[in-house]
Amino acid sequence: MTTNILEAQQLYFSYPDGTQALAGLSVTIEKGSKVAILGPNGTGKSTFLLHLIGILKPTKGDIFFEQKKLDYRRASLQALRSRVGFVFQDPDNQLFSASVWQEVSFGPMNLGWSKEKVIEQVNLALDLTGTAHLKERPIHALSYGQKKLIAIAGVLAMAPEVIILDEPTASLDPQYTNHILKLLEEINSGGTTVIMATHDVDLAYTWADTLVVMKDGRVLKKGQPVEVFLDDEVLQASSLTKPYVLEIFQQLQRNGYFAEDIMIPRSRQQLLEIIAARGQDLINKRAVAY
Q: Does 41 bind another protein (CB under 8 A)?
A: yes
Segment interacting with another protein (CB under 8 A) among 51-59, 126-134, 184-192, 247-255: 51-59
Q: Does 255 bind another protein (CB under 8 A)?
A: no
- The Cα 115–Cα 84 span in angstroms is 22
Q: Does 138 bind a copy of itself (CB under 8 A)?
A: no
- The Cα 146–Cα 141 span in angstroms is 10
Question: Of 58 and 108, which CB lies nearer to another protein in the complex structure?
Answer: 108
Q: Which helix (H) or strand (E) holds 24?
A: strand 20-30
- The Cα 71–Cα 68 span in angstroms is 9
> Binding partner of residue 145 among a copy of itself, another protein, none, CB under 5 to 8 Å per kind?
a copy of itself
Name which position in 30, 61, 64, 90 contacts another protein (CB under 8 A): 90
Q: Does 272 bind a copy of itself (CB under 8 A)?
A: yes
- Of 43, 44, 32, 39, whose CA–CA distance to 4 is shortest? 32
- Positions 5 through 64 that interact with a copy of itself (CB under 8 A): 40-42
Backbone Cα Rg of the chain: 21
Q: How far is the CB of 210 from another protein (least distance, A)?
A: 23
Q: Which helix (H) or strand (E) holds 81?
A: helix 74-83
Q: Does 106 bind another protein (CB under 8 A)?
A: yes
Question: Of 42 and 279, which CB lies nearer to another protein in the complex structure?
Answer: 42
DSSP state at residue 258: S
* Largest interatomic CA distance in the chain: 78
CB atoms within 10 A of CB 290: 4
- The Cα 106–Cα 118 span in angstroms is 9
- The Cα 286–Cα 290 span in angstroms is 6
**Residue span 86-115 as binding mask against a copy of itself, x where in contact by CB under 8 A, dash where not:** ---xx-------------------------
Question: Measured in whole angstroms, how far is the alpha carbon of residue 270 from the centre of its chain?
Answer: 21
Name which position in 174, 190, 261, 285 contacts a copy of itself (CB under 8 A): 174
Name which position in 15, 72, 96, 144 contacts a copy of itself (CB under 8 A): 144
Residues engaged in binding another protein (CB under 8 A): 15-17, 19, 21, 41, 46, 50, 53, 55-56, 74, 78, 81-82, 85-86, 88, 90, 92-99, 101-103, 105-111, 115, 118-119, 122, 136-141, 143-144, 154-155, 158
